[in-house]
Amino acid sequence: MRPLIQLCYTAVTGVSLTDRVQLVAEVERLVSSQTLHGSESLCKLLRYLAKQAVEHPGVPVKEYQIATEVFGRQADFDPQLDSMVRVQAGRLRSKLAEYYSTEGTTDGTIIEVPKGSYAVVVHDRVASPSNGLPDSATHEGKQTAPSRGWLFAVVGLSLALVAAITLLARAYATARNGYSGVAEAPAPFRTFWKGFITGPEEPWVIFSNAAFVGRPETGMRYYDAARDTNAPILDHYTGVGEVLAIHNLDLVFGALHQSLRVKRGSLFSLDDAKNNDLIFIGSPSENLTLREIPSTKDFVFARVPSGPRAGNLEIVATNPQTGERKEFLPTPPLVPVTEDFAIVALVHGINPEHSELILAGNSTLGTQAAVEFVTRENYLAGLLQALGVSDPSQLKPFEAVIHVRVAKGVPVESTLVALRKSH
């Protein structure tokens, strides 16, 4: 059976923790302690488990969920092959035990993650066995313990209600006061995305929205102006990678307490481009606005001019460096995709005061991987290191190419293979 996560409150001394705020305070006391100081991954794990327990009481949390949502593992993570989550949970248990035996010896409340589960268990510190209580009192307590089952159900429902009210109140305060609690997001996110979350307007996300002709049930293809003059255009389709990309961006911007405005490429105008920070999802072959505004210069999308792959989309290095490949060509069409290449680039917009972030692959899977490269903490930290950026003020325009390994239609690993920094 998979480990379950649960939040328990044991009123040993007659004082129950029924307030989410108090739980958060206890967790923050732990992560701020000398024992856990410097253990960022363990602090993230503890916060996550506590948050899940309060907001989703009784809902199991799997190793896979922890691996991908807390530690940034890829979608092909296999708990049977990778024991990382179990190792980190064991380290967290050891640190909690160390804290309560040193700094936390006087704490009235104890937070534990029992061995063999990912459950957050919160209880009052157990009094010494010689507590002066008569046997009859102890016996009476044991008799009435089962009847307190209803209390735990009430506490669980109360916590869920408190959590919902807290989230609504925070959302209202954010909208009303313009609050931006970016310190809650990991450092790479705050560094990379600061320019997009501090402007006067929310950034636009423009996703690929190519023109098709035909019908879904009989076959569709890209619109060809030379032969499809009178054919009705279908302009309401996009790739699965674009859908997942927008979801990933929404999660990151939610953590940064900033909103996004999303628009399909066919409806985007140059007026929008002049006055906003922009995030383009998808290549110029499908995100047509990219053909009309400033885009990449060192790495560009092009069609293979001749040979057996003539007409296929590829990425071309306009000025390849010594030992660097000139063409980045993905898996051929009509066979299962095993690799792709994508561009991740930050450039100045039509108005130099605004920025454009271009996240685009040769295929929709490459596009998904490009967005994951700037929305996964481990990838983003590596990119910032390659750029030599440790502070938001150091981030300048750049162009990069990543190689994407694909398995069963899912991007599973991305590697930075080329990089140009603006001078």
Q: Domain residues of the chain, as ranges?
A: 7-179, 183-421
CA 270 to chain CA centroid, Å, is: 30
Contact 211, 265 (CB under 8 A): no
The band of 6, judged by pLDDT with boundaries at 50, 70 and 90, is very low
Average per-residue pLDDT in the chain?
78
How do strand 278-281 and strand 355-361 relate by DSSP bridges? parallel
User: pLDDT higher for 263 or 326?
Assistant: 326
Highest averaged pLDDT of the listed ranges 34-43, 278-287, 291-300, 338-347:
338-347
Q: How confident is the model at residue 159 (pLDDT cuts 50, 70, 90)?
A: low
Q: At what angle do helices 40-55 and 84-101 cross, to 10 degrees?
A: 90
pLDDT (0 to 100) of residue 311:
87
Q: Compute the average pLDDT of residues 300-313.
A: 90
Q: Which residues of 385-403 are buried (b: 16+ CB within 10 A; e: fewer)?
A: eebebeeeeebebbbbbbb
pLDDT at residue 265, as a whole number: 78
Contacts for 240 with CB less than 8 Å, ≥ 6 apart: 364, 368
Between 28-32, 54-58, 291-295, 409-413, the lowest mean confidence (pLDDT) is in 291-295
Question: Tell me, what's the pLDDT at 119?
Answer: 79
Q: What is the pLDDT of residue 31?
A: 85
Contact 148, 140 (CB under 8 A): no
pLDDT, residue 282, reads 87
Candidate ranges 2-11, 174-183, 240-249; pick with highest mean pLDDT: 240-249
The count of other CB atoms within 10 Å of the CB of residue 13 is 13
Q: What is the DSSP string of 368-412?
A: HHHHHHHHSHHHHHHHHHHHT-SSGGG---EEEEEEEEEETTEEE
Q: Which of 31-35, 77-81, 89-93, 341-345 has the highest mean pLDDT?
A: 341-345
Whether the Cβ atoms of residue 113 and residue 47 lie closer than 8 Å to each other: no
Among 126-130, 226-230, 273-277, 363-367, where is mean pLDDT lowest?
A: 126-130
pTM > 0.85: yes or no: no
Radius of gyration, alpha carbons of the chain: 26
Confidence tier at 103 by pLDDT (50, 70, 90) = confident
Q: What is the pLDDT of residue 131?
A: 45
pLDDT digits (tens, 9 = 90+) for 321-379: 888 899 999 998 888 889 999 999 999 988 888 899 999 999 899 999 999 999 999 99
* Phi and psi, residue 235, nearest 5°: -120, 30
pLDDT greater than 50 at residue 146: no
pLDDT bucket at 286, cuts 50 / 70 / 90: low
pLDDT band at 180 (very low <50, low <70, confident <90, very high): very low
Q: What is the mean pLDDT of residues 248-265?
A: 87
Q: What is the pLDDT of residue 9?
A: 41
Report pLDDT for 190. Answer: 92
Q: What are phi and psi of 261, to 5 degrees?
A: -115, 125
Instruction: Pick 127 or 205 by higher pLDDT.
Output: 205
Higher pLDDT, 169 or 403: 403
Distance CA(286)–CA(208), nearest Å, equals 5
Q: Is the pLDDT of residue 137 over 90?
A: no
pLDDT at site 163? 53
